[in-house]
Amino acid sequence: MSNSDFKTCPGIKNFVRPIPEYFPCPSCGGNVEIWSDENMGICDGCEKEIGRPQKEQSCLDWCEHADKCRDLIKHQKVN
């Protein structure tokens, strides 16, 4: 079975195919780009490293199959 045929829960979509999210910098008001698979980003105004304002809980925080998904995510990011 190829990776493209592998069926997974929809909860890992943003980890396998991350999307950018933008938050205001609490220090200067600039834009902070944080990808959906990351918790930190760099402000484009003051260049400080800023954490995600509130981390949304994902299936990786509670699912009994999370370890299998973490392995899949790691493999997809390498390729």
| pLDDT single digits (tens) 11-25 | 666 677 788 999 999
Tokens of 13: 């979509």
| pLDDT single digits (tens) 40-77 | 999 999 999 999 887 666 777 788 888 888 887 777 76
pTM: 0.59
Domain assignment of residue 74, given as a range? 3-78
Counted domains in the chain = 1
32 contacts 46 by C-beta, under 8 angstroms: no
Separation of CA 33 from chain center: 11
Q: What are φ and ψ of residue 32, in 5° steps?
A: -120, 120
